[in-house]
Amino acid sequence: MLPSAFDYVVPDSLEEAVRALTEGPDARALAGGQSLLPLLKLRLARPARLVDLRRLDGLRYVRKVDGGVAVGGLTPHAEVAGSTLLVGGGRALAEAAAAIGDVQVRNRGTFGGSLAHADPSADLPAAVLALEATLLAHGPDGEREIRAGDFFLGPFATALRPGELLVGARMEIPEGSRGAYVKLRHKASGFALVGVAAVLEMDGSTCRRARLTVTGTGGRPLRLEETEEALAGLSLEDGRAVREACSGAGEVLEDVHDDLHGSAEYRRAMTSVMATRAVLRAVG
Amino acid sequence: MATTTVPKQIGARVRRKEDPRLITGASTYTDDLKLPGMAYCTVLRSPHAHARIASIDTSGAEATKGVLRVVTGRDVQEAIGGLPVAHKIEGLLEPPHRVLAIDEVRYVGDGVAAVVAEDPSTARDALERIEVEYEELEAVVDVEKAAAGGPFVHEELGTNVAFTFPFEAGDVDGAFQDAPVVLRQRIVNQRQIPFAVEPRAVAARFDRGHRKLEIWSSTQIPHLLRTQLSVMLGIPEHSVRVIAPEVGGGFGSKLNVYAEEALVGHLARELGRPVKWTATRTEGFQATIHGRDQLADVEIAASEDGVLHGMRVKLLQDLGAYHQLLTPVIPTLTVLMLPGAYRLRNLQVELKGVFTDKTPTDAYRGAGRPEANFIIERVLDLIADATGIDPIEVRRRNFFPADAFPADTCTGLTYDSGNYQAAVDLLLETVDYDALRREQAQRRERGELMGIGVACYVEICGLGPSAALPAGGWEACTLEVRRTGRVVVKTGVSPHGQGEETTFSQIVADALGVGLNDVEIAHGDTDYVPEGIGTFGSRAQAVGGAALSMALEDVRDKSRKIAGHLLEADPEDVVFDEGKLHIRGAPDRAVGFQDVVTAAYMADDLPEGVEPGLASTRFFEPSNFTFPFGVHLCVVDIDPDTGEPSIRRYVAVDDCGNVINPMIVDGQIHGGVAQAIAQSLYEQAVYDADGQLVTGSLMDYAVPRASYLPSYELRRTTTPTPVNPLGAKGVGEAGTIAGNPCVMNAVVDAVSHLGIRHVDMPATPEKLWRIITERD
């Protein structure tokens, strides 16, 4: 369990970090290391250089911004999970962060690290997608914004360009909205066999607009658009109606994973179950 | 055991003496060792389940800066003998098992070459520079196909069946003839991967001056390992020293002689430098023995009153690619224990041990007995279901009654002592069983899935009489009272979590009236502890503790003689009290224990015929195994939407005879049940059709977290064994043996109204979800 040799640099600023990432071939950014270190030890990743971001303290925050909340890329999951700013629809993100791994992982692993790694079974991608977050990338050409819906391209693939770091995200939390994240946990890895995030804009007990996303079923997190439409205008106090509205959530998914950990049929069925539970939990 | 005063320590919940150093990181494990000039070893392993090695080119590795030595199987075949298998099975086929493969690899993880380098990273890097050309062969993966014919794991054998072990008792055909209830069921014990938190590790140093080899190994059996390494490496046994430092868990996986132990010893000898190898987690999964992996086809003959009259069992044991130390012995324990707690008289078993291209199987907590108990306790529930009699009542009707002990089983065992009804009675005092059944009926009305599972068990512990074991079943103990009155116990049962430093100290404290901290329990060093067998088969107290008791009796006798002499009294009238010896009925006429010790070593005023010193070495040979027993109950709820099972309540009634330390016994039950829940609900080693281990990491192989496990309610009855002076039976494996059928009987019970009679382990959410949705 020893990695192959690599250069190791610890930049003091974001600019230095970006430079260190672009100077030579095969540089990788190291944030909390909760995914990267196991890959290094198994030699599944063999970067020529590791750029350790641990001194970039300015990227560790959850703060209120105009119309919503901003989260820094180096914020540990535990701080996202415990943030008092993530209320209403923002609960989807807090609960997704709380559902990651175990205590040690949540204290070391980072918000930006998890999103940039884009594991297809990770929890956070579902939440930022449901919140329609704006992700902030910083690279050689400065800072740019990427919509969450455009960010996740496939398994471990994102819209980040070479040398770009995911430095944070900004998301609106509509007034009176509700949110939740629930998952069926894979018993070995703790990752989502199926995870669903729900962000619901409400008029009293009636759902005005629903945003539902699923992770774990395919190569990237997806919006459950048909279910969102079925929930719009529905009274969410009626558990049976919610169940009915969510019952088709999994059926419409394409290219669902079918493997040792769960058949496609089971994952589809569980998508509907988790969608129902996410909605009921959000309004419960 | 004889104590003249009321025992103060035996039976007390004494905190473990070993814990402060273990939980503060002040202890030394094998991988912590750094010896001057130490070099580091890594092993290249086969990525194929079955392949011919066409060529190996080690030149790239050898040319790597810092690499000291690269060896292949051919390079060491003269210097290192084959790996041993200990058994008494007639006609067992024993294909060669080399420390590194020669010409052919037979499982993913089979060792191919080894590198020694100045540092671990260089050794790891060099592995990638060894070029091996493999010609892939068809992998033998499915045990039934392997039993039926080719291709063969070992071509030269012309078969994959390493042995057959037929057994028949009573009149089986007669029992089936006209039996009103005849049932058939396939019962699988899936392959498990023992998961010790400390992976295997070996370090070796060769003293060229004395021609002596020192081996540090994370092992359960330092003395047996010493003998085997002596044979494998051609070094006289007195010139081999094995040290087991702290051992961080074993569960049977370190009850073995592994290739790396001999290989590292040889490389240290050859290089003249200390060498260390530590398994990676991947090697822990691929190249450390696996457990279970039995397939049983069971036929049951019973009467309408729920009495089991006969069983026919066809048993296939997947051995993996080679024999490790006890590989073929494990399933024979299954055969012996098939009757469980019941008066089964007619039993026919056809056991076959079958090679496949997988990691070898061997002893894993319970070692053959969990398999047997899973079979018999599922059988009792199948009978209950078929006859409509409550599962607890069915068990009562089949039990050996309390007056039957010593009780002979149809498999030739004699159960030493027992009272199975009493255990069930205590269970029913603890649990309102009828209320649980009422609740279950109400929940079913509401569409909820709740199951109640009950399982009894009897297990073989205190391994055991030497005649019944392949490598000796005695245990040795040396007791030394030092001049200052401090006591050193040198025991052959080398612990890896069992807490003997505490329990043995309790025994000594009561016997000699000394403080717990005046006793040192030494173990795990073959130069310091003269002899021993090791820790496995729940034998540490029942056999090792018994040897200690014998040595204590010697020391007490001699102390009484010396005290009697000092007090001018008959030694028979001298009794031990706290820190002193006095004349019975006259506590004032006393000498301190220290006075006796001083007299023994000053030796200028000893009674006639008494030698100086105060020490004894004793070997205890048990006359029989011990047979602990008990009954467990659990309540399982299944989420009807997801199929996820959760254990709401777990009650264990165990009888392990006399208890030295109830807290440690509780801990053994907790851990044992946890590993049973693991097999029942979570853990399964999966190989694909090509023989790749697809559950080769903790990302895929679900070792349960603490949060997956319930709180345990523990109760005990106490039926001492007459087999040893402590009356203790052993408890290390009880929870594992009782737990699987207990949990699975509850799972099946939860879905029995859907027409389900059996569910294979592990009862995963998807498996249960399918059952629920397909019956809806």
Class for the domain spanning B19-25+474-620 = alpha beta
Q: What integer pLDDT is reported at residue B776 of this predicted model?
A: 62
Q: Taking each helix axis from N to C terminus, what angle separates B500-512 and B546-567, rounded to the nearest 10 degrees?
A: 30
Domain ranges of chain B: 19-25+474-620, 46-137, 195-288, 294-464+624-775
- Same-domain check for residues A227 and A256: yes
Comparing alpha-carbon positions, the chain A residue that sits nearest to B128 is A4
* A185 in contact with B, Cβ within 8 Å: no
Q: What integer pLDDT is reported at residue B4 of this predicted model?
A: 47
A177 found inside a domain:
no
For residue B725, give the DSSP letter: T
Q: What is the separation, in whole angstroms, between the first and last Cα of chain B?
A: 60
CB contact under 8 A, A188 and B120: no
- Same-domain check for residues A99 and A159: yes
A55 found inside a domain:
no
CA distance B13 to B40: 43
How many CA atoms lie less than 13 Å away from B388 in the CB half-sphere?
1
CA distance B56 to B105: 13
Alpha-carbon dihedral sign for residues B457, B458, B462, B468: negative
* B705 in contact with A, Cβ within 8 Å: yes
A21 found inside a domain:
yes
Has residue A160 got a pLDDT over 80? yes
A2 found inside a domain:
no
* B699 in contact with A, Cβ within 8 Å: yes
The shortest CB-CB distance from A4 to any of B125, B644, B682 is to B125
Q: Read off the pLDDT of residues B531-568 as tens digits, 9 standing for 90 and up.
A: 999 899 889 999 999 999 999 999 999 999 999 999 99
Count of the separate structural domains present in chain A: 3
Q: Read off the pLDDT of residues B377-411 as tens digits, 9 standing for 90 and up.
A: 999 999 999 999 999 999 999 999 999 999 999 99
The shortest CB-CB distance from A188 to any of B701, B766, B770 is to B701
CB atoms under 10 Å from CB of B291, counted, come to 29
- A206 to chain B nearest CA, in Å? 25
Radius of gyration of chain A (CA): 19
Domain range spanning residue A35? 7-48
Mean model confidence pLDDT for chain B: 96
Q: What integer pLDDT is reported at residue B578 of this predicted model?
A: 83
Class for the domain spanning B195-288 = alpha beta
A104 found inside a domain:
yes
User: Contact at 8 Å (CB) between A212 and A196?
Assistant: yes
Question: So what's the ipTM on this one?
Answer: 0.95
Has residue B175 got a pLDDT over 60? yes
Q: What integer pLDDT is reported at residue B527 of this predicted model?
A: 96
The helix or strand, by DSSP H or E, that contains position B601, with its residue range, turns out to be: helix B593-602
CA distance B10 to B661: 6
- Same-domain check for residues A191 and A116: no
Q: What integer pLDDT is reported at residue B2 of this predicted model?
A: 45
* B125 in contact with A, Cβ within 8 Å: yes
Domain pair B46-137 / B195-288, same fold? no
- Same-domain check for residues A103 and A136: yes
CA distance B586 to B580: 12
Mean model confidence pLDDT for chain A: 96
Of A131, A148, A172, the position where a domain reaches its end is A172
Beta strands in B376-528 (DSSP E): 407-408, 414-415, 449-458, 475-481, 487-491, 519-522
Q: Looking at domain B46-137, which of 3.90.1170.50, 3.40.1010.10, 3.40.1360.10, 2.40.37.10 is its CATH number? A: 3.90.1170.50
Q: Looking at domain B294-464+624-775, which of 3.30.420.40, 3.40.50.2000, 3.30.365.10, 3.40.228.10 is its CATH number? A: 3.30.365.10
* A262 in contact with B, Cβ within 8 Å: yes
- Average pLDDT of the residues in B343-365: 98
- A262 to chain B nearest CA, in Å? 7
CB contact under 8 A, B642 and A189: no
H helical segments located in B234-346: 259-271, 281-286, 329-337
Q: Going by C-beta distance under 8 Å and a sequence separation of 6 or more, which residues neighbour residue A281?
A: A180, A182, A198
- Same-domain check for residues A164 and A75: yes
A102: tokens are 């175990």
- Same-domain check for residues A90 and A110: yes
Q: Going by C-beta distance under 8 Å and a sequence separation of 6 or more, which residues neighbour residue B533?
A: B221, B223, B224, B471, B472, B473, B474, B475, B476, B492, B493, B539, B543
A222 found inside a domain:
yes
- Same-domain check for residues A160 and A203: no
CB contact under 8 A, A263 and B766: yes
Q: Which residues of B touch A270 (CB under 8 A)?
A: 642
A23: tokens are 């100077």
H helical segments located in B678-721: none
Q: Read off the pLDDT of residues B674-730 as tens digits, 9 standing for 90 and up.
A: 999 999 999 999 999 999 999 999 999 999 999 999 999 999 999 999 999 999 999
- DSSP assignment string, A213-252: EEESSSSS-EE-HHHHHHHTT-BTT-HHHHHHHHTTTTTT
φ/ψ of residue B461, rounded to 5: -130, -175
Q: Which residues of A touch B45 (CB under 8 A)?
A: none
CB contact under 8 A, B121 and A5: yes
- B695 to chain A nearest CA, in Å? 9
- Same-domain check for residues A144 and A242: no
Q: Read off the pLDDT of residues B271-322 as tens digits, 9 standing for 90 and up.
A: 999 999 999 999 999 999 999 999 999 999 999 999 999 999 999 999 999 9
Radius of gyration of chain B (CA): 27
Q: Which residues of A touch B704 (CB under 8 A)?
A: 187
Q: Going by C-beta distance under 8 Å and a sequence separation of 6 or more, which residues neighbour residue A144?
A: A136, A137
The shortest CB-CB distance from B686 to any of A42, A260, A266 is to A260
- Same-domain check for residues A40 and A87: no
Q: Map tokens 């962060």 to a residue.
A: A97
User: Contact at 8 Å (CB) between A151 and A158?
Assistant: yes
Q: Map tokens 């109640």 to a residue.
A: B452
Which is it for strands B201-207 and B414-415: parallel, antiparallel or unpaired? unpaired
Q: Read off the pLDDT of residues B474-491 as tens digits, 9 standing for 90 and up.
A: 999 999 999 999 999 999
Of A109, A143, A172, the position where a domain reaches its end is A172
For residue B49, give the DSSP letter: S
Q: What integer pLDDT is reported at residue B1 of this predicted model?
A: 43
- Average pLDDT of the residues in B55-84: 98
- Same-domain check for residues A260 and A199: yes
- Same-domain check for residues A238 and A191: yes
CA distance B756 to B748: 7
Residues in chain B: 776
Has residue B6 got a pLDDT over 90? no
Choose among B141, B176, B262: nearest CA to B213.
Answer: B262
CATH classification at residue A214: 3.30.390.50
- Same-domain check for residues A85 and A161: yes
pLDDT band at B443 (very low <50, low <70, confident <90, very high): very high
Q: What integer pLDDT is reported at residue B468 of this predicted model?
A: 87
User: Contact at 8 Å (CB) between B511 and B27?
Assistant: no
Q: Read off the pLDDT of residues A35-84 as tens digits, 9 standing for 90 and up.
A: 999 999 999 999 999 999 999 999 999 999 987 999 999 999 999 999 99
Choose among A155, A135, A221: nearest CA to A183.
Answer: A221
Q: What is the separation, in whole angstroms, between the first and last Cα of chain A?
A: 46
Has residue B187 got a pLDDT over 60? yes
CB contact under 8 A, B280 and A189: no
A95 found inside a domain:
yes
CATH classification at residue A152: 3.30.465.10
Q: Going by C-beta distance under 8 Å and a sequence separation of 6 or more, which residues neighbour residue A37?
A: none
Q: Is B480 helix (H, G, I), strand (E, B) or coil?
A: strand
A180 found inside a domain:
no
* A65 in contact with B, Cβ within 8 Å: no
